[in-house]
Amino acid sequence: RHDIYTYSGVVLVAMNPFSPVQLYSPEAMARYARAASHAADPHLFAIAENAYRGMVNDRRNQTIIVYGESGSGKTTSAKYIMRYFAQAHHADTNDVQMSTVENQILATNPVFESFGNAKTTRNDNSSRFGKFLDIKFERERQQIVGGRIRTFLLERSRVVYQPPTERNYHIFYQLLAGADAELRARLRLDGEYAACGAFHYTNQGGAGSAAIPGVDDAADFAETDASLEMVGIDGTQRGHIWRTLAGILHLGNVEFSGSESTGSFVGAESEPQFAIAAELLGVGEAKLRQWLTKRQIVTRHDNILAKVNKTQALVIRDSIAKFIYARLFDWILGPINASLLPTQVDEGQTSFVGVLDIYGFEHFEHNSFEQFCINYANEKLQQNFNHHVFKIEQEEYRREQLENWTFIGFQDNQPCIDLIEGKPIGILALLDEES
Protein backbone atom coordinates (compact mmCIF):
# COMPACT_ATOMS: atom_id res chain seq x y z
CA ARG A 1 0.00 0.00 0.00
CA HIS A 2 3.03 2.26 0.34
CA ASP A 3 1.76 3.76 3.58
CA ILE A 4 5.23 5.01 4.48
CA TYR A 5 4.16 7.87 6.79
CA THR A 6 2.60 8.06 10.23
CA TYR A 7 2.41 10.59 13.03
CA SER A 8 3.80 10.38 16.53
CA GLY A 9 2.54 13.53 18.15
CA VAL A 10 3.89 16.48 16.19
CA VAL A 11 6.53 14.31 14.52
CA LEU A 12 6.07 12.76 11.08
CA VAL A 13 7.76 9.34 10.99
CA ALA A 14 8.79 8.12 7.53
CA MET A 15 10.00 4.74 6.29
CA ASN A 16 12.20 4.68 3.20
CA PRO A 17 10.49 2.34 0.68
CA PHE A 18 13.71 2.07 -1.40
CA SER A 19 11.56 2.14 -4.54
CA PRO A 20 9.60 4.78 -6.46
CA VAL A 21 6.19 5.62 -4.98
CA GLN A 22 3.35 7.66 -6.49
CA LEU A 23 2.84 10.01 -3.55
CA TYR A 24 4.19 13.35 -4.76
CA SER A 25 2.15 14.29 -7.85
CA PRO A 26 0.64 17.75 -8.45
CA GLU A 27 -2.71 16.22 -7.54
CA ALA A 28 -1.31 15.16 -4.17
CA MET A 29 0.00 18.69 -3.62
CA ALA A 30 -3.44 20.12 -4.38
CA ARG A 31 -5.05 17.71 -1.94
CA TYR A 32 -2.84 18.86 0.92
CA ALA A 33 -2.81 22.58 0.11
CA ARG A 34 -4.97 24.30 2.71
CA ALA A 35 -6.00 21.00 4.28
CA ALA A 36 -6.83 21.27 7.95
CA SER A 37 -4.14 20.03 10.30
CA HIS A 38 -4.08 16.19 10.28
CA ALA A 39 -7.25 16.14 8.14
CA ALA A 40 -5.52 14.24 5.36
CA ASP A 41 -3.30 11.19 5.61
CA PRO A 42 0.17 11.65 7.14
CA HIS A 43 2.51 13.03 4.49
CA LEU A 44 5.50 15.30 3.92
CA PHE A 45 3.13 17.71 2.22
CA ALA A 46 0.99 17.88 5.37
CA ILE A 47 4.02 18.92 7.42
CA ALA A 48 4.96 21.50 4.79
CA GLU A 49 1.41 22.86 4.69
CA ASN A 50 1.24 23.10 8.49
CA ALA A 51 4.48 25.11 8.48
CA TYR A 52 3.13 27.37 5.72
CA ARG A 53 -0.15 27.90 7.59
CA GLY A 54 1.72 28.63 10.82
CA MET A 55 3.81 31.26 9.05
CA VAL A 56 0.75 32.89 7.43
CA ASN A 57 -1.77 32.69 10.27
CA ASP A 58 0.49 33.11 13.29
CA ARG A 59 2.96 35.41 11.51
CA ARG A 60 5.83 33.42 12.97
CA ASN A 61 8.80 31.96 11.12
CA GLN A 62 8.78 28.16 10.93
CA THR A 63 11.43 25.45 10.58
CA ILE A 64 11.15 21.82 9.49
CA ILE A 65 13.91 19.51 10.72
CA VAL A 66 14.65 16.45 8.58
CA TYR A 67 16.87 13.91 10.29
CA GLY A 68 17.55 10.20 10.63
CA GLU A 69 20.12 7.54 9.85
CA SER A 70 22.11 7.64 6.64
CA GLY A 71 20.00 6.18 3.85
CA SER A 72 16.68 6.92 5.53
CA GLY A 73 15.57 9.30 2.76
CA LYS A 74 16.32 12.71 4.28
CA THR A 75 17.71 14.38 1.17
CA THR A 76 14.83 13.21 -1.03
CA SER A 77 12.32 14.26 1.63
CA ALA A 78 13.85 17.73 1.84
CA LYS A 79 13.64 18.05 -1.96
CA TYR A 80 9.93 17.22 -1.96
CA ILE A 81 9.30 19.73 0.81
CA MET A 82 11.07 22.44 -1.19
CA ARG A 83 9.10 21.48 -4.30
CA TYR A 84 5.84 21.76 -2.35
CA PHE A 85 6.61 25.30 -1.25
CA ALA A 86 7.60 26.26 -4.80
CA GLN A 87 4.53 24.79 -6.52
CA ALA A 88 1.59 24.20 -4.18
CA HIS A 89 0.19 27.71 -3.73
CA HIS A 90 0.28 29.25 -7.20
CA ALA A 91 -3.52 29.14 -7.19
CA ASP A 92 -3.38 32.13 -4.81
CA THR A 93 -2.53 34.41 -7.72
CA ASN A 94 -3.78 32.25 -10.63
CA ASP A 95 -0.12 31.85 -11.55
CA VAL A 96 0.65 28.36 -12.76
CA GLN A 97 4.25 29.14 -13.67
CA MET A 98 7.02 29.13 -11.10
CA SER A 99 8.99 32.34 -10.70
CA THR A 100 12.69 32.60 -11.44
CA VAL A 101 13.51 32.50 -7.72
CA GLU A 102 11.39 29.38 -7.23
CA ASN A 103 13.15 27.65 -10.13
CA GLN A 104 16.51 28.72 -8.71
CA ILE A 105 15.65 27.27 -5.30
CA LEU A 106 14.86 23.91 -6.92
CA ALA A 107 18.01 24.16 -9.07
CA THR A 108 20.17 24.25 -5.94
CA ASN A 109 19.36 20.56 -5.32
CA PRO A 110 21.48 19.05 -8.14
CA VAL A 111 24.28 21.53 -7.39
CA PHE A 112 24.60 20.60 -3.73
CA GLU A 113 24.06 16.90 -4.40
CA SER A 114 26.94 16.95 -6.89
CA PHE A 115 29.37 18.87 -4.69
CA GLY A 116 28.24 17.63 -1.27
CA ASN A 117 26.94 14.06 -1.72
CA ALA A 118 28.82 10.80 -2.17
CA LYS A 119 28.33 7.06 -2.33
CA THR A 120 28.91 5.35 1.04
CA THR A 121 28.53 1.76 2.20
CA ARG A 122 24.94 2.48 3.26
CA ASN A 123 23.72 5.03 0.75
CA ASP A 124 24.48 5.72 -2.91
CA ASN A 125 23.62 9.41 -2.49
CA SER A 126 24.65 10.26 1.06
CA SER A 127 24.77 13.94 2.04
CA ARG A 128 28.20 14.65 3.50
CA PHE A 129 27.31 18.13 4.75
CA GLY A 130 24.48 19.89 6.56
CA LYS A 131 22.22 22.45 4.90
CA PHE A 132 19.72 25.00 6.17
CA LEU A 133 17.52 26.68 3.56
CA ASP A 134 15.18 29.46 4.58
CA ILE A 135 12.55 30.15 1.94
CA LYS A 136 11.38 33.75 2.17
CA PHE A 137 7.74 34.66 1.54
CA GLU A 138 6.35 38.16 0.98
CA ARG A 139 4.00 38.73 3.91
CA GLU A 140 1.06 40.22 2.02
CA ARG A 141 0.85 37.86 -0.97
CA GLN A 142 2.52 34.85 0.71
CA GLN A 143 4.57 34.22 -2.45
CA ILE A 144 8.20 33.15 -2.55
CA VAL A 145 10.46 36.16 -3.12
CA GLY A 146 13.85 34.77 -2.15
CA GLY A 147 15.88 32.35 -0.11
CA ARG A 148 19.15 31.87 1.69
CA ILE A 149 21.24 28.74 2.17
CA ARG A 150 23.69 28.03 4.95
CA THR A 151 25.92 24.95 4.95
CA PHE A 152 28.00 23.40 7.69
CA LEU A 153 30.35 20.53 8.49
CA LEU A 154 31.36 19.51 4.97
CA GLU A 155 33.23 16.20 5.26
CA ARG A 156 36.53 17.46 3.90
CA SER A 157 38.40 14.21 4.56
CA ARG A 158 36.39 12.48 1.81
CA VAL A 159 38.22 14.54 -0.82
CA VAL A 160 41.46 12.65 -0.09
CA TYR A 161 40.28 9.35 1.42
CA GLN A 162 37.45 6.94 0.66
CA PRO A 163 36.94 3.54 2.33
CA PRO A 164 36.53 0.42 0.18
CA THR A 165 33.41 0.41 -2.09
CA GLU A 166 32.82 4.15 -1.50
CA ARG A 167 33.26 7.18 -3.77
CA ASN A 168 34.55 10.71 -3.52
CA TYR A 169 32.05 13.52 -4.12
CA HIS A 170 29.85 12.90 -7.17
CA ILE A 171 31.14 15.95 -9.03
CA PHE A 172 34.56 14.40 -9.67
CA TYR A 173 33.01 11.38 -11.43
CA GLN A 174 30.52 13.58 -13.27
CA LEU A 175 33.34 15.75 -14.62
CA LEU A 176 35.35 12.73 -15.76
CA ALA A 177 32.29 11.16 -17.43
CA GLY A 178 30.55 14.22 -18.86
CA ALA A 179 33.22 16.70 -19.99
CA ASP A 180 33.39 17.09 -23.76
CA ALA A 181 36.61 16.62 -25.73
CA GLU A 182 37.48 20.33 -25.71
CA LEU A 183 37.02 20.66 -21.95
CA ARG A 184 38.96 17.44 -21.32
CA ALA A 185 41.88 18.77 -23.34
CA ARG A 186 41.92 22.05 -21.38
CA LEU A 187 41.78 20.21 -18.05
CA ARG A 188 44.27 17.50 -19.11
CA LEU A 189 41.65 14.84 -18.43
CA ASP A 190 42.23 13.02 -21.70
CA GLY A 191 44.44 10.14 -22.72
CA GLU A 192 45.76 8.23 -19.73
CA TYR A 193 43.92 10.60 -17.37
CA ALA A 194 40.47 10.12 -18.91
CA ALA A 195 39.01 7.74 -16.29
CA CYS A 196 38.52 7.91 -12.55
CA GLY A 197 40.80 4.91 -12.11
CA ALA A 198 43.73 7.13 -13.12
CA PHE A 199 43.47 9.32 -10.01
CA HIS A 200 44.34 8.52 -6.41
CA TYR A 201 41.49 10.66 -5.13
CA THR A 202 38.85 8.71 -7.11
CA ASN A 203 40.11 5.12 -7.20
CA GLN A 204 40.48 4.23 -3.53
CA GLY A 205 37.06 2.54 -3.37
CA GLY A 206 38.36 -0.32 -5.46
CA ALA A 207 37.21 -2.03 -8.65
CA GLY A 208 33.58 -1.34 -9.48
CA SER A 209 33.11 1.31 -6.81
CA ALA A 210 32.91 4.18 -9.31
CA ALA A 211 29.72 2.93 -10.95
CA ILE A 212 26.35 3.41 -9.23
CA PRO A 213 23.46 1.32 -10.61
CA GLY A 214 20.89 3.50 -12.32
CA VAL A 215 23.08 6.62 -12.22
CA ASP A 216 24.41 8.28 -15.39
CA ASP A 217 27.29 10.53 -14.29
CA ALA A 218 27.56 12.13 -17.74
CA ALA A 219 23.88 13.14 -17.73
CA ASP A 220 24.22 14.36 -14.15
CA PHE A 221 27.17 16.53 -15.17
CA ALA A 222 25.02 18.21 -17.83
CA GLU A 223 22.28 18.80 -15.25
CA THR A 224 24.76 20.19 -12.72
CA ASP A 225 26.23 22.53 -15.33
CA ALA A 226 22.75 23.78 -16.29
CA SER A 227 21.77 24.19 -12.62
CA LEU A 228 24.91 26.22 -11.91
CA GLU A 229 23.91 28.54 -14.76
CA MET A 230 20.36 28.75 -13.39
CA VAL A 231 21.59 29.87 -9.95
CA GLY A 232 23.74 32.66 -11.34
CA ILE A 233 27.18 31.12 -12.03
CA ASP A 234 28.23 32.12 -15.54
CA GLY A 235 30.30 30.20 -18.08
CA THR A 236 33.62 31.76 -17.08
CA GLN A 237 33.03 30.98 -13.42
CA ARG A 238 31.99 27.41 -14.23
CA GLY A 239 35.21 27.05 -16.21
CA HIS A 240 37.17 28.08 -13.11
CA ILE A 241 35.27 25.49 -11.06
CA TRP A 242 36.16 22.69 -13.50
CA ARG A 243 39.82 23.82 -13.54
CA THR A 244 39.95 23.74 -9.75
CA LEU A 245 38.42 20.26 -9.57
CA ALA A 246 40.82 18.92 -12.20
CA GLY A 247 43.73 20.57 -10.39
CA ILE A 248 42.76 18.75 -7.19
CA LEU A 249 42.67 15.43 -9.04
CA HIS A 250 46.11 15.95 -10.56
CA LEU A 251 47.54 17.18 -7.25
CA GLY A 252 46.42 13.93 -5.60
CA ASN A 253 48.68 11.94 -7.94
CA VAL A 254 51.83 13.79 -6.85
CA GLU A 255 54.18 11.47 -4.93
CA PHE A 256 57.39 12.31 -3.08
CA SER A 257 60.90 10.92 -2.74
CA GLY A 258 63.76 11.66 -0.35
CA SER A 259 65.02 10.69 3.08
CA GLU A 260 65.04 12.04 6.62
CA SER A 261 68.42 13.68 6.03
CA THR A 262 67.70 15.22 2.61
CA GLY A 263 64.05 15.99 3.18
CA SER A 264 61.32 15.30 0.65
CA PHE A 265 61.03 16.39 -2.95
CA VAL A 266 58.56 15.78 -5.77
CA GLY A 267 59.31 12.41 -7.32
CA ALA A 268 60.61 12.40 -10.89
CA GLU A 269 57.64 10.32 -12.12
CA SER A 270 55.23 12.87 -10.60
CA GLU A 271 56.79 15.95 -12.20
CA PRO A 272 54.40 16.01 -15.21
CA GLN A 273 51.27 15.92 -13.04
CA PHE A 274 52.79 18.33 -10.56
CA ALA A 275 53.21 20.84 -13.39
CA ILE A 276 49.63 20.23 -14.56
CA ALA A 277 48.28 20.71 -11.03
CA ALA A 278 50.16 23.99 -10.60
CA GLU A 279 48.92 25.27 -13.95
CA LEU A 280 45.27 24.35 -13.33
CA LEU A 281 45.28 25.75 -9.80
CA GLY A 282 46.88 28.98 -10.99
CA VAL A 283 49.92 28.90 -8.72
CA GLY A 284 53.60 29.09 -9.48
CA GLU A 285 55.46 25.78 -9.56
CA ALA A 286 58.21 27.11 -7.31
CA LYS A 287 55.81 28.24 -4.59
CA LEU A 288 53.74 25.05 -4.72
CA ARG A 289 56.89 22.93 -4.59
CA GLN A 290 58.19 24.92 -1.62
CA TRP A 291 55.07 24.58 0.51
CA LEU A 292 54.60 20.91 -0.33
CA THR A 293 58.08 20.01 0.84
CA LYS A 294 58.83 22.59 3.52
CA ARG A 295 57.19 23.89 6.64
CA GLN A 296 57.62 27.31 8.19
CA ILE A 297 58.63 27.72 11.82
CA VAL A 298 57.86 31.19 13.16
CA THR A 299 60.17 32.48 15.90
CA ARG A 300 60.23 35.82 17.66
CA HIS A 301 62.88 37.20 15.33
CA ASP A 302 62.68 35.15 12.14
CA ASN A 303 60.78 32.65 9.98
CA ILE A 304 62.63 29.40 9.37
CA LEU A 305 61.90 26.91 6.57
CA ALA A 306 62.37 23.33 7.77
CA LYS A 307 62.47 20.10 5.77
CA VAL A 308 59.63 17.57 5.97
CA ASN A 309 59.79 13.85 5.30
CA LYS A 310 57.77 11.97 2.66
CA THR A 311 54.92 11.11 5.01
CA GLN A 312 54.61 14.72 6.14
CA ALA A 313 54.68 15.91 2.52
CA LEU A 314 51.74 13.62 1.69
CA VAL A 315 49.82 15.07 4.66
CA ILE A 316 50.54 18.59 3.38
CA ARG A 317 49.39 17.61 -0.14
CA ASP A 318 46.12 16.21 1.20
CA SER A 319 45.60 19.20 3.48
CA ILE A 320 45.96 21.58 0.52
CA ALA A 321 43.46 19.52 -1.51
CA LYS A 322 40.92 19.50 1.34
CA PHE A 323 41.32 23.23 1.92
CA ILE A 324 40.88 24.09 -1.76
CA TYR A 325 37.76 21.95 -2.11
CA ALA A 326 36.20 23.37 1.07
CA ARG A 327 36.85 26.93 -0.13
CA LEU A 328 35.39 26.08 -3.55
CA PHE A 329 32.28 24.64 -1.88
CA ASP A 330 31.90 27.81 0.21
CA TRP A 331 32.53 30.04 -2.79
CA ILE A 332 29.76 28.40 -4.83
CA LEU A 333 27.36 29.32 -2.05
CA GLY A 334 28.05 33.06 -2.58
CA PRO A 335 26.64 33.49 -6.12
CA ILE A 336 23.78 31.11 -5.26
CA ASN A 337 22.68 33.24 -2.30
CA ALA A 338 23.14 36.43 -4.30
CA SER A 339 20.74 35.12 -6.96
CA LEU A 340 18.26 33.63 -4.47
CA LEU A 341 17.94 36.88 -2.51
CA PRO A 342 17.71 39.81 -4.95
CA THR A 343 18.81 43.17 -3.57
CA GLN A 344 15.33 44.64 -4.08
CA VAL A 345 13.83 42.19 -1.56
CA ASP A 346 13.12 43.92 1.77
CA GLU A 347 13.80 41.20 4.33
CA GLY A 348 11.90 43.25 6.90
CA GLN A 349 8.72 42.57 4.89
CA THR A 350 9.23 38.81 4.63
CA SER A 351 8.65 35.70 6.70
CA PHE A 352 10.40 32.37 6.15
CA VAL A 353 9.99 28.63 6.42
CA GLY A 354 13.32 26.93 7.06
CA VAL A 355 14.26 23.39 6.02
CA LEU A 356 17.15 21.86 7.97
CA ASP A 357 18.64 18.79 6.27
CA ILE A 358 21.27 17.37 8.62
CA TYR A 359 23.32 14.51 7.28
CA GLY A 360 22.76 11.20 8.94
CA PHE A 361 24.31 9.07 11.64
CA GLU A 362 27.09 6.85 10.26
CA HIS A 363 29.61 4.48 11.75
CA PHE A 364 32.61 3.85 9.52
CA GLU A 365 35.83 1.96 10.11
CA HIS A 366 37.55 5.37 10.02
CA ASN A 367 35.31 8.25 11.10
CA SER A 368 36.09 11.89 10.35
CA PHE A 369 35.77 14.67 12.92
CA GLU A 370 32.90 16.09 10.87
CA GLN A 371 31.07 12.74 11.12
CA PHE A 372 31.65 12.72 14.88
CA CYS A 373 30.08 16.19 15.14
CA ILE A 374 27.10 15.09 13.03
CA ASN A 375 26.62 11.95 15.12
CA TYR A 376 26.61 14.16 18.20
CA ALA A 377 24.01 16.45 16.62
CA ASN A 378 21.90 13.41 15.75
CA GLU A 379 22.09 12.20 19.35
CA LYS A 380 20.79 15.59 20.50
CA LEU A 381 17.96 15.41 17.96
CA GLN A 382 17.14 11.87 19.05
CA GLN A 383 16.93 13.10 22.63
CA ASN A 384 14.45 15.77 21.50
CA PHE A 385 12.46 13.07 19.68
CA ASN A 386 12.41 10.89 22.80
CA HIS A 387 11.22 13.84 24.87
CA HIS A 388 8.30 14.62 22.54
CA VAL A 389 7.27 11.09 21.58
CA PHE A 390 7.83 9.09 24.73
CA LYS A 391 7.79 11.54 27.63
CA ILE A 392 5.32 14.27 26.63
CA GLU A 393 2.91 12.02 24.71
CA GLN A 394 2.74 9.32 27.39
CA GLU A 395 2.32 11.93 30.09
CA GLU A 396 -0.69 13.18 28.14
CA TYR A 397 -2.08 9.64 27.97
CA ARG A 398 -1.61 9.27 31.71
CA ARG A 399 -3.49 12.51 32.42
CA GLU A 400 -6.34 11.39 30.16
CA GLN A 401 -6.41 8.03 31.98
CA LEU A 402 -6.47 6.01 28.79
CA GLU A 403 -7.53 2.42 29.35
CA ASN A 404 -5.45 -0.51 28.15
CA TRP A 405 -2.37 1.67 27.85
CA THR A 406 0.94 0.18 28.92
CA PHE A 407 3.85 2.56 29.40
CA ILE A 408 6.44 2.09 26.66
CA GLY A 409 10.00 2.11 27.90
CA PHE A 410 12.84 3.57 25.85
CA GLN A 411 16.58 3.80 25.99
CA ASP A 412 17.62 7.23 27.19
CA ASN A 413 20.70 8.44 25.32
CA GLN A 414 21.67 11.02 27.95
CA PRO A 415 24.77 8.97 29.05
CA CYS A 416 26.05 9.09 25.44
CA ILE A 417 25.50 12.85 25.27
CA ASP A 418 27.22 13.33 28.64
CA LEU A 419 30.20 11.34 27.34
CA ILE A 420 30.56 13.81 24.46
CA GLU A 421 29.66 17.18 26.01
CA GLY A 422 30.25 16.63 29.72
CA LYS A 423 32.67 18.87 31.58
CA PRO A 424 35.46 18.65 32.55
CA ILE A 425 36.20 15.22 31.04
CA GLY A 426 33.82 14.95 28.07
CA ILE A 427 35.28 14.27 24.63
CA LEU A 428 34.75 17.84 23.40
CA ALA A 429 36.24 19.33 26.57
CA LEU A 430 39.30 17.09 26.26
CA LEU A 431 39.72 18.02 22.59
CA ASP A 432 39.55 21.71 23.52
CA GLU A 433 42.20 21.15 26.16
CA GLU A 434 44.51 19.33 23.76
CA SER A 435 44.13 21.99 21.07
Catalytic residue set? 70-71, 75, 123, 126-127, 360, 362
**Three-state SS letters, 215-271:** CCHHHHHHHHHHHHHHCCCCHHHHHHHHHHHHHHHHHHCCCEEEECCCEEEECHHHH
Spatial distance between the Cα atoms of 377 and 253, rounded to a whole number of angstroms: 35
Tell which residue, 351, 359, 374, 350, has the closest CA to residue 78: 359
Cα angle value 131/68/167 (rounded, 5°):
65
CA dihedral of residues 41, 44, 46, 48 (deg, nearest 10): 180
Spatial distance between the Cα atoms of 204 and 385, rounded to a whole number of angstroms: 37
Spatial distance between the Cα atoms of 53 and 46, rounded to a whole number of angstroms: 10
Enter the DSSP assignment of 70.
T
Q: Which helix (H) or strand (E) holds 289?
A: helix 285-293
Main-chain phi, psi angles of 93, to 5 degrees: -120, 15
DSSP-assigned letters across all residues of 100-122: HHHHHHHHHHHHHHHHHEE--SS
- For residues 355 and 132, the answer to whether their CB atoms sit within 8 Å is yes
Terminus-to-terminus CA distance in the chain, angstroms?
A: 54
CA distance readout (Å), 358 to 107, 315, 377? 19, 29, 9
CA distance readout (Å), 432 to 50, 426, 429, 435? 41, 10, 5, 5
